[in-house]
Structure 1
Amino acid sequence: MKIGLTFFAFIACILVSNAQSGGSPISINLDETGGCYGEYFQIFSERGAKPIPNGNHDVVISIVYKGESQCYFGKAKVENGKLVPPVQIQKDDLSFAPLSSLYRNLDQEWLEKQNQENLFDIVDGMSKRFYSEDQQAGRVFFYTFINDKQKSNRRAPSASALIKN
C-alpha cells in the first residue's frame, strides 16, 4: 500500500511539474544545471544587478543542451529595460553574428505559451530563459552590471585576546 501511494505521489509530482512548465518538451531545469550556466545563474541570483540602461552592452550568453552548458561572449541591445533581439554572439575573430547562427529559431510551441509583454524583460541582470527548436535553452547575462559582492563584517577576537591589560 505504501509503495503504491509513493509511486502515485511521484507520478503526480511529475505531472504537476510538467504542467507548471507549460508542458514543454524540454526537460531541463536550468536553475539546477551545473557548469558555466549554473555559476552565472547562482551569482546573479545572489547579488542581483543594477538596472540596465538603454544601449548595446557586453553580455555572456549561456546555452544548455542535454544538461551541458557552454557560455559565450556577445552583445545585446536594451531599450526600456527589455532585451531587443537579435542578440549577437562573438566569434573567435572578435566579429559578431546573430545568435541564431548557433541555434535554430525559438521553439514556437514554447513561445506561444509566453506572456509577450514580459518575454524580453531583464531581471537581476538576466534575460528570461529561452528555448530553441533544437532543444537548446539559455539565458543572457549582463555581467557588467552585476552588483558588487557584499563585504563581510570583520569579527573581533575574544576580549582576552584583544585587551592585554
Structure 2
Amino acid sequence: MDLNGVAPGQVVQAERVEDVVDTIRAANSAREAIVIRGGATRLDIGDPPERYDTCLDLRGLTGIVEFEPADLVATVRAGTTLSDLADALAEHGLRWPVEAGAHHRATVGGTIASAAGGPSRLRYFHPRDWTIGVQAVLGDGSLTRAGGRVVKNVTGYDLTK
C-alpha cells in the first residue's frame, strides 16, 4: 500500500459506511493524514503526500444496493468495480457510458471522485453527468447526501454537477 514510497501507519478495510465515518472521524480528531483507496488506478494523480498515517481501503464496499432497470437508476456502493456494474447493467441491455483504464479494478466511487473519463466522454460526457445522487463522508467524518434517487429531481442546488 505504498504511495510514492510512503507507507501508511495502518490500513483500514471498510465494509460498511459506518467504518468510513468512524475512520475519518478518528483521523480528523488525531490530525492524521488519510488516503482513500479503491482500485488504486489513479493514485498517481495530484501531489504525493508527505504523510500517510492511514490508508482507508474501500474495496469492501461493493455491490449494487438497488437497481430499477425500467427507471434507468442504480444505487451502487463506492467500491464496486466498473466491470461488475457493467455486467449487471448488460443483463438488462443497459450500460453506464463511463470508461476508465483497468475497468476490472477501477471503482465507481473512484471514477466519480477523480472525474475519470475515457474516450467515451467526448460523446457521453463525464461521470458526473450520469450521477444523479451521491452519499459522501466529509473530512470531519460527517455523512452528507447530494442529489436525489430519481432522474427528474428539481429540488435544491445541484451539488453533483
TM-score (norm 1): 0.25
Higher helix residue share: 1
Higher strand residue share: 1
Q: Which structure's relative contact order is higher, taking Cα pairs within 8 Å and 6+ residues apart?
A: 1
Q: Work out which of the two has the higher radius of gyration on C-alpha atoms and give 1 or 2.
A: 1
